[in-house]
A and B are shown apart, each in its own frame.
Chain A
Amino acid sequence: MNFNLSTKRSQKTLLGAVSAAALSVLAIGQAHADPITVVSWGGSYGKAQDAALFTDASKNSGIEINRESGASMSKVVLQVESNAVTWDLVVSGSGSCAAAAAKGALEKIDFNVVDVSNFLPNTYTDYCVGSDVFATVFAWNTDKYGVPGTAGAPNSWADFWDVEKFPGTRSYRLNNVDGALEPAVMAMGVAPEDVYDFLSTEDGIKKAIDKIRELKPHIAVYWKSGAMQAQLMKDQEVDMITGWNGRFDNAKKDGAVVGYTFNQALRDYDGFGIPKGAPNKDTAMKFLGEVSKAKYQANLPFHITYGPTNREAYEVTTAPKELLEALPSHPNNVSKMLAVSLDWYAKNREKAQEMYMELLSE
């Protein structure tokens, strides 16, 4: 009897405590913003962002974040189209980000909140803010063709196409025209600054496709992902490959005999977009402003060989000189590269993509 009574009493006390706690949580909830959902990619890329950007930016700004993996702009488009947006800030490649923006799936960036005044040129748009600069390069088996920079080693896209001088197998991008046509145009001898002019007509695109067709008998494998680029070089499955510079650095750390050059590479960037109608879009915008600051980006090179988009980061970083010089955004390297033109992709991607798929299915 007694026992029962006391249980009831304690239940009542518990109920009171719980409701008091709930009320106080509500009160706090009103004072502070809800946590935002930040979505990136898995593996070393997401880990590098956690270490360099997200954890510290969250601490300093007081904005709580829920971290998720599996970022994809096609999922963002689906969320927006079905009015079920749950993500607030999403990592994306510049091309997919622009495509999602063109579909009306992204919020416009408020540049009063996100300061891009010190950003490298072409690393942000009205809908996407760059987080890191990477390069699409060509890499090769250094046992076979020599160490980058030494005499006789490949140095240009023309060399990538030259199967007489550099006999062996090649690997190229599957199912996605991003960064696939520009190398072919440069291999024809067109200067980097004239590449997008050349590709502005359908005839130009056709010539680039024809140039890739020329190489096709030597393309042993088409790669689908950065992980696959690294694996193909580690297994020495192909001798020369196109891909993202950071992946080859990682493969080299894992013991692969691989090297690459920034000469004629395609400079591109990964960035953030905010899905249209994101549940906490204002807080997400503030957080985007925070992670875009130089003090966070300055830590990125320690975790992945991709360069900050914020120029100020190069001044405040404590990274050693060699590390900075190995980044695709280093001024010495930038001058050798071609910046990927999102305008060209916005205008021509759909057509070029179909033509590229047609070539691959031949």
Chain B
Amino acid sequence: MASPEINKIEHLNADKLLAAERHENLTIFALSLPALIAVLVVIVIPVGWLFSLSFLDSSGQLSLVNYQKMIEYKSYARVFKTTFNVSILTTLLCILIGYPLAYFLSQIPRRYVGFFMLTVLLPFWTSLLVRTYAWLVMLQRNGLINNFAIDLGLWDTPLKLAHNLNGTLIGMVHIMLPFLILPLYAAMRRIDPHALQAAANLGATPVQAFWQIFVPLSLPGVVAGSLIVFVLCLGFYVTPAVLGGGRVILVSMQITAILEDQFNWGAASALGVVLLVLTFAALFLASRFLKLDEVMFGKR
């Protein structure tokens, strides 16, 4: 007998709840409006402007000349290839170095984490330029590392550590490492230690438990971190420009050269547009291949 009464009350509540929800949605929208406008003003409009500039030739006429040039001269394709190669290499090296480090951080007692995290964060908070030039001082022909090693008799002639791909990778990996470690550490901390104990209970050796339980569970962190690193690398300028010695030319450096030496905003914009499109394409491929939704947000 009581149920219709209850239903009625629930119904009444539902109405109010719906209204409240609508109100809340509206409030959230209103609150995020400034952010949306900011995104529109600082991202959407400039990118649109960049896009339109790339279709203008140097006299301001509508043309495809900026894109034709990219096909006509091989330097552009080579620069894109170098950019992707360097970005992929940097990301792989970051995983190789960052994974054990993040694993170590996730396994030690929490009270020691602060100290070790500081060793990751301190360089992260130091100026990019300072770190890059510090590497140059260390790596160059008469730099600290070469002089020290030659004095010790480790090698006779200076190793070519800077002004080439070696230097570029060393510098970029060092600067990108925190971007991988931080999300990876967070993902590893979230892994339930009972899962590993359960695996041991079921007869898994520690190595088996690590590879079959821990690593798969940490993959979302690896994917998130390496995507951040990879995308940041694609547009990286300072470190490759300083440590590459002009022998490792990335897209960002080509854009600067075109702007500074040819005042050609159209050609520079076209390069920017192609880089943006390729970045999206790479992310799209990654999402297909890695099922980003599943690994990052746990959706099925």
Residues of A within 8 A of B (CB): 72-74, 77-78, 96, 99-100, 103, 169, 174-176, 178, 220-224, 235-237, 350, 353-355, 357-358, 360-362
Residue on B with the closest CB to A74? B263
- Cβ of B78 and Cβ of A362 under 8 Å apart? yes
Which of A100, A178, A237, A358 is in CB contact (< 8 Å) with B141?
A237
- Confirm or deny: B287 has a beta carbon within 8 angstroms of a beta carbon on chain A: no
Q: Which residues of B contact A350 (CB under 8 A)?
A: 262
- Cβ of A221 and Cβ of B263 under 8 Å apart? no
Q: Which residues of A contact B78 (CB under 8 A)?
A: 361-362
**Contacts A236-B141, A237-B140, A360-B249; is A74 near B260 (CB within 8 Å)?**
yes
- Cβ of A235 and Cβ of B75 under 8 Å apart? no
Which of B73, B163, B261 is in CB contact (< 8 Å) with A358?
B73
Q: Which residues of B contact A220 (CB under 8 A)?
A: 141, 160, 163, 245
- Cβ of B75 and Cβ of A354 under 8 Å apart? yes
Interface size on B, residues (CB 8 A): 28
> Secondary structure at chain B's binding surface: helix, strand, loop or mixed?
helix
- Cβ of B75 and Cβ of A360 under 8 Å apart? yes
Q: Which residues of B contact A235 (CB under 8 A)?
A: 140-142
Residue on B with the closest CB to A354? B73
Residue on A with the closest CB to B74? A358
Which residues of chain B in 159-174 are interfacial with respect to chain A, using CB atoms and an 8 Å cutoff? Answer: 160, 163
- Cβ of A237 and Cβ of B163 under 8 Å apart? yes
Which of B82, B142, B261 is in CB contact (< 8 Å) with A175?
B261
Which of A78, A176, A237 is in CB contact (< 8 Å) with B257?
A176
Cα of A362 to Cα of B76 in the assembled complex, Å: 11
- Cβ of A103 and Cβ of B58 under 8 Å apart? yes
- Cβ of B246 and Cβ of A175 under 8 Å apart? yes
Which of A72, A78, A221, A353 is in CB contact (< 8 Å) with B262?
A353
**Contacts A99-B263, A103-B58; is A361 near B142 (CB within 8 Å)?**
no
Task: Report B143 CB to chain A, min CB distance, Å.
Answer: 8
Ranked nearest first, the 8 interchain pairs of A and B with the lowest CB-CB distance are: A222-B246, A175-B257, A174-B246, A361-B75, A221-B245, A361-B78, A358-B75, A77-B263
Task: Report B265 CB to chain A, min CB distance, Å.
Answer: 7
Cα of A350 to Cα of B262 in the assembled complex, Å: 8
Q: Which residues of A contact B247 (CB under 8 A)?
A: 221-222
Which residues of chain B in 244-300 are interfacial with respect to chain A, using CB atoms and an 8 Å cutoff? Answer: 245-247, 249, 253-254, 256-257, 259-263, 265
Cα of A223 to Cα of B242 in the assembled complex, Å: 10
- Confirm or deny: B47 has a beta carbon within 8 angstroms of a beta carbon on chain A: no
Cα of A241 to Cα of B160 in the assembled complex, Å: 18
Cα of A65 to Cα of B122 in the assembled complex, Å: 45
Residue on B with the closest CB to A359? B75
Cα of A190 to Cα of B263 in the assembled complex, Å: 32
Cα of A77 to Cα of B262 in the assembled complex, Å: 10
Q: Which residues of B contact A174 (CB under 8 A)?
A: 246, 257
Which of A74, A77, A361 is in CB contact (< 8 Å) with B249?
A361
Cα of A362 to Cα of B75 in the assembled complex, Å: 7
Residue on A with the closest CB to B253? A175
24 A-B pairs, CB-CB below 8 angstroms?
A72-B260, A78-B265, A100-B263, A174-B246, A175-B249, A175-B256, A176-B257, A176-B260, A176-B261, A220-B160, A220-B163, A221-B245, A222-B247, A223-B246, A235-B142, A237-B142, A353-B262, A354-B75, A355-B73, A357-B75, A357-B257, A358-B74, A360-B246, A361-B78
- Cβ of A361 and Cβ of B82 under 8 Å apart? yes
**With A176-B260, A221-B247 given, can you name 15 additional A-B contacts, CB distance below 8 Å?**
A96-B261, A103-B263, A169-B141, A174-B257, A175-B256, A175-B257, A176-B261, A220-B160, A221-B246, A223-B246, A224-B241, A224-B246, A236-B141, A354-B69, A360-B246
